[in-house]
Amino acid sequence: MQRTLALLLAFACTALLLLREQRRFVLATRPGDSAALEAYCGAPPQGSEGNLTADGLKLVGVLVTIRHGDRSSIHSLPNTNTTARWVCRPVGSEQKQAAAQVAVVGLDGSPLYRPLLPRTLPGRHGDCAPGQLTPRGFAQHVALGRHLGRSFAPLLREAAAERRANSSRVGVYVRSTDYTRTQMSAAAFLYGLLPPTLRPPLAPPTRIHTCADEAAEVMHGVGLAASSKVGSEDGGGETERQGACALAGSLARAQQAAWRGDDGARDALGGLFGEEARAMPPTHVADALHSLSCHGMPRPCSQGGCVSAALAASFGRMGDSAYCAWCGNFGSSRSSRAISGKSSGDQGDLW
């Protein structure tokens, strides 16, 4: 059997399905507000990956599916009198090294020019543009890569030996969407994962395969596919299109139409920021609030007041429920429990 290390970095609903029992939206004012928030923002990687529980088995391949690390928000609430600020520059030496040790290529292997360091807002002294990987997000994936590098050290050593014996053998395959934050997350993960024998200068740069045609990217979904590309930027809005499978698209629309959120929370948000905010999808609202949590930034305010912890938590639960309903169709009973906040283990601001 061919022994390879297969590494797939996927950023789509499939990742959410794999993690559906984890709470994804963390909504609080400061990292010190709760132990749960602190653990979410800086949780050390842990687990028993790589341990074989039966004799006679040998690990010959690994498939890893991850999402990008901590990032600046893609969406923002209208009519606020506060400005959120994430700092992306200057970048550290490790991040520069990680970016230099990979090469982004098309699905056919042709080279693509993709500067992986985070984009910044013009004239804002290093402030992140929308949807950019933060220094915290980079560190998260380096730590995860190092953890898995220790777990899968024998397999990585074998891949390095095969590479030395046959320089044409590619032991690592990486697939990413065409976003700076996802490709830099992949580079950070590889920087932590791969031993020196599988990284430059002892080995060629690891190739990150991506689809340069956003409209043809199946990693966004084959039914309804969402994209946060706005012009040449990686954030600042979101569009939805029909993917390659018409049936999957019609089923997804039916799931969206059947889902019901918390109208009381929507009304409260509209009272603060107007009808445009009330009409925003709950996942967009949750993104605008969630991305503040690990950076000590206050929740948005208007002349009428500020988003309360309870309202933020409501949109966190709604966003979580909406993702589950739209991407997984886990059933109305679980969704209704999530919206009401009565599911087992409900921890207030952590959702």
| Residue pointed to by tokens 């109305």 | 332
pLDDT digits (tens, 9 = 90+) for 179-218: 999 999 999 999 999 999 999 999 999 999 999 998 889 8
- Residue 340 predicted with pLDDT over 80: no
With a CB cutoff of 8 Å and minimum separation 6, the contacts of 18 are: 65
User: Could you give the residue ranges of the DSSP H alpha helices within 206-274?
Assistant: 246-258, 263-273
Distances (CA, A) of 184 to 115, 128, 144, 226: 9, 14, 14, 20
Among 42-56, 160-174, 293-307, name the one with the lowest average pLDDT: 42-56
- One-character DSSP codes across 30-91: SGGG-HHHHHHHHPPP---TT---STT-------------SB--S---SS-S-----B--SP
**Considering the chain, what percentage of its residues have pLDDT values greater than 90?**
50
pLDDT of residue 30: 41
Maximum average pLDDT range among 234-243, 307-316, 325-334: 307-316
- Residue 102 predicted with pLDDT over 90: yes
Size of the chain, expressed as the number of residues it contains: 351
Packing angle of the helix pair 153-165, 135-151 (nearest 10 deg)? 80
What's the pLDDT band for 7 if we cut at 50, 70, 90?
A: very low
| Residue pointed to by tokens 């993690």 | 19
Q: What is d(CA 262, CA 321) in angstroms, rounded to the nearest whole number? A: 11
Q: Token digits for 343?
A: 């599911």
**Considering the chain, what percentage of its residues have pLDDT values greater than 70?**
81
* Average pLDDT of every residue of the chain: 81
pLDDT of residue 273: 97
What's the pLDDT band for 15 if we cut at 50, 70, 90?
A: very low
pLDDT digits (tens, 9 = 90+) for 224-243: 888 888 877 888 888 888 88
Between 32 and 171, whose confidence is greater?
171
pLDDT of residue 23: 34
**H/E run at residue 209:** strand 206-210
- One-character DSSP codes across 98-151: HHHTEEEEETTS-B-----SPPB-TTSTTBBPTT-B-HHHHHHHHHHHHHHHHH
Q: What is d(CA 285, CA 283) in angstroms, rounded to the nearest whole number? A: 5
- Domain limits, the chain: 5-30+42-227, 243-340
Q: What is d(CA 6, CA 11) in angstroms, rounded to the nearest whole number? A: 16
Q: Token digits for 55?
A: 């004799």
pLDDT digits (tens, 9 = 90+) for 138-179: 999 999 999 999 999 999 999 999 888 887 787 899 999 999
- Residue 333 predicted with pLDDT over 50: no
